[in-house]
């Protein structure tokens, strides 16, 4: 197993390029199943989750090749409609094959993902939506078996906005007969990119990026050609790296309109953010002010930035309160930050952080993807050496993060345990 070793205390300077968004690339890769033929997706990040998606597509019978972050996926010979447990348990986003397989082949057999480190994360809303489109769903040996002679458009009102649920239904409804209306839909930039990609394949979707999406079903779709948008969570992580180290970084590819909630909170901490032609310049203050955050669905403060922002608040002057409203168990980084000297108290879904001037490096353990990033950020600002183990979580979602940080002057390297 590998670990990341960081010697902290260096103010980061320079420029860093943001990679393509994992959470956009994954649904786009699965959307290729909706058409017969060869699709091409560029700016796909090199990540473990992308490798898992590739494996799943191959398992279904698609031909997948990649070169320089460009994936060619030929779905002409798809012969299986089953997403096996081994792959779904490795990556929950695998359930996004349900909508495309059901819509194109009239059937799908997808393993239920089971538990997750950050919360229960059921897929009941995906299934309820598919049923509303006329699918018959039943559970067998831990698998969802879905069948439909022909999906038919329907009005679907989500009990809560769900990113994956909205994506699954967008894909299924694109090939359904008649009109589907999704109410209380998720509004994330990744949803907008998926809808635009589907429209470029011949779908008729309006309203993506708002809470109400209209989909006029079409008989067939053509292969996809598109470029993945920049990863707003990776961009946000580098923005916090600048803030926590009192550095000055140009985050190339950071898009202001996708980061408004994070930007306004960073500005409250005293961090300076200046738009430049191809990104955002972020200048960390000498003393960080403490601010409160509450995660919520887009355009609110993203849950995927909560752990990183908590690392930042451990170094702020004063007390901040962080409330997590999306996932039930997304404070696993707290115990590890405490090992580095952080003063954090958890009360249910909220954490109170009393900023401390000095944190000390320590051996710590990553528990999930964004928790890993939080520990690395804390390590960049801590005295002495921090060793982050179990970094396979990190490799699921951050492309070459240690190389990118080293390019900004950080003393960081990957080592064998």
Smallest gap from Cβ 397 to ligand EPU, in A, equals 5
- CA dist 56 and 162 (Å) reads 23
Told to check if 304 binds ligand EPU by CB under 6 A, we report: yes
Assess contact for 21 and 404: CB atoms under 8 A: no
3-class SS of residue 186: coil
Structure tokens at 22: 């994992």
> Quick one: which of 9, 61, 119, 300 contacts ligand EPU (CB under 6 A)?
119
Told to check if 370 binds ligand EPU by CB under 6 A, we report: yes
Helices within 133-215 (DSSP H only): 163-174, 189-200
Give whole-number Cα distances, 44 to 29, 280, 397, in Å: 9, 21, 12
Backbone angles phi, psi at 367, to 5 degrees: -110, -25
Told to check if 163 binds ligand EPU by CB under 6 A, we report: yes
**In terms of CB distance, is 118 or 405 closer to ligand EPU?**
118
3-class SS of residue 122: coil
Site for ligand EPU in 124-153 (CB under 6 A): 124-126
Stretch in the footprint of ligand EPU (CB under 6 A) among 160-168, 195-203, 246-254, 261-269: 160-168
Which residue's Cβ lies closest to ligand EPU?
Answer: 164
> Quick one: which of 16, 50, 62, 93 contacts ligand EPU (CB under 6 A)?
93
Told to check if 160 binds ligand EPU by CB under 6 A, we report: yes
Listed residue (345, 342, 351) closest to 324, CA to CA: 351
* Number of residues located near ligand EPU, criterion CB under 6 A: 24
Give whole-number Cα distances, 132 to 176, 204, 214, in Å: 11, 19, 15
Structure tokens at 42: 């560029």
3-class SS of residue 225: strand
**In terms of CB distance, is 74 or 372 closer to ligand EPU?**
372
> Quick one: which of 123, 172, 215, 344 contacts ligand EPU (CB under 6 A)?
123
Smallest gap from Cβ 114 to ligand EPU, in A, equals 13
Site for ligand EPU in 383-402 (CB under 6 A): 397
Structure tokens at 109: 């057999």
Q: Determine whether 116 is an active site residue.
A: yes
Site for ligand EPU in 19-78 (CB under 6 A): 23, 26
**In terms of CB distance, is 125 or 280 closer to ligand EPU?**
125
- Quick one: CA dihedral 88, 93, 95, 101, positive or negative? negative
Residues listed for the chain? 417
Told to check if 121 binds ligand EPU by CB under 6 A, we report: yes
| DSSP structure class, residue 390 | -
Smallest gap from Cβ 328 to ligand EPU, in A, equals 7
At 48, which helix (H) or strand (E)? helix 48-60
Stretch in the footprint of ligand EPU (CB under 6 A) among 116-124, 277-285, 337-345, 377-385: 116-124
> Quick one: which of 37, 76, 122, 275 contacts ligand EPU (CB under 6 A)?
122
Smallest gap from Cβ 96 to ligand EPU, in A, equals 8
Structure tokens at 186: 């998720």
Told to check if 369 binds ligand EPU by CB under 6 A, we report: yes
**In terms of CB distance, is 76 or 115 closer to ligand EPU?**
115
**In terms of CB distance, is 162 or 269 closer to ligand EPU?**
162
Structure tokens at 208: 């993506």
Long-range contacts of 265-269 (CB under 8 A, 24+ apart): 265/291, 265/293, 265/301, 265/309, 266/239, 266/240, 269/243, 269/312, 269/316
- CA dist 112 and 139 (Å) reads 9
Smallest gap from Cβ 275 to ligand EPU, in A, equals 24
Smallest gap from Cβ 303 to ligand EPU, in A, equals 5
Stretch in the footprint of ligand EPU (CB under 6 A) among 157-165, 204-212, 238-246, 341-349: 157-165
Enumerate binding residues for ligand EPU (CB under 6 A): 23, 26, 93, 119-126, 160, 162-165, 186, 303-304, 326-327, 369-370, 397
Q: Which residues are annotated as catalytic?
A: 116
């Amino acid at each position: 197993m590998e670990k990341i070793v960081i010697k902290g205390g260096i103010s980061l300077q320079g420029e860093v390029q943001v990679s393509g968004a994992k959470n956009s690339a994954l649904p786009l890769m699965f959307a290729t199943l909706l058409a017969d033929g060869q699709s091409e997706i560029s700016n796909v990040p090199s990540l473990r989750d992308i490798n898992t998606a590739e494996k799943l597509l191959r398992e279904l019978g698609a031909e997948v090749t990649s070169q320089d972050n460009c994936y060619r996926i030929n779905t002409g010979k798809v012969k299986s409609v089953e997403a096996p447990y081994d792959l779904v348990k490795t990556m929950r986003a695998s359930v996004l094959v349900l909508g495309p397989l059901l819509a194109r082949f009239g059937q799908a057999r997808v393993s239920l993902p089971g538990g997750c480190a950050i919360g229960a994360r059921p897929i009941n809303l995906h299934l309820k939506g598919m049923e509303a489109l006329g699918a018959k769903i039943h559970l067998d040996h831990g698998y969802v078996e879905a069948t439909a002679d022909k999906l038919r458009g329907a009005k679907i009102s989500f009990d809560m906005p769900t990113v994956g649920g909205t994506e699954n239904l967008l894909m299924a409804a694109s090939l359904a007969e008649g009109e589907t209306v999704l109410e209380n839909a998720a509004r994330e930039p990744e949803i907008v990119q998926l809808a635009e990609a589907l429209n470029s394949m011949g779908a008729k979707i309006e309203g993506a990026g708002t809470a109400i999406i209209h989909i006029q079903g079409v008989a067939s779709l053509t292969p996809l050609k598109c470029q993945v948008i920049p990863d707003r969570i990776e961009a946000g992580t580098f923005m916090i790296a600048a803030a926590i180290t009192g550095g000055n970084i140009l985050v190339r590819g950071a898009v202001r309109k996708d980061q408004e909630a994070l930007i306004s909170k960073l500005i409250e901490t005293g961090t300076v953010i200046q738009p430049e032609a191809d990104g955002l310049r972020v200048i960390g203050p000498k003393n960080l002010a403490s601010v409160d955050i509450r995660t919520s669905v887009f355009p609110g403060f993203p849950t995927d930035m909560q752990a990183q922002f908590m690392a930042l608040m451990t170094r702020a002057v004063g007390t901040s309160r962080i409330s997590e409203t999306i996932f039930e168990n997304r404070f696993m980084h707290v115990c590890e930050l405490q090992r580095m000297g952080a003063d954090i108290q958890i009360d249910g879904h909220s954490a109170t952080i009393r900023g401390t001037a000095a944190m000390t490096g320590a051996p710590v353990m990553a528990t999930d993807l964004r928790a890993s990033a939080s520990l690395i950020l804390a390590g960049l600002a801590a005295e002495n050496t921090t060793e982050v183990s179990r970094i396979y979580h990190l490799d699921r979602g951050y492309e070459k993060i240690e190389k990118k940080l080293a390019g900004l002057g950080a003393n960081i390297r990957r080592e064998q345990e």
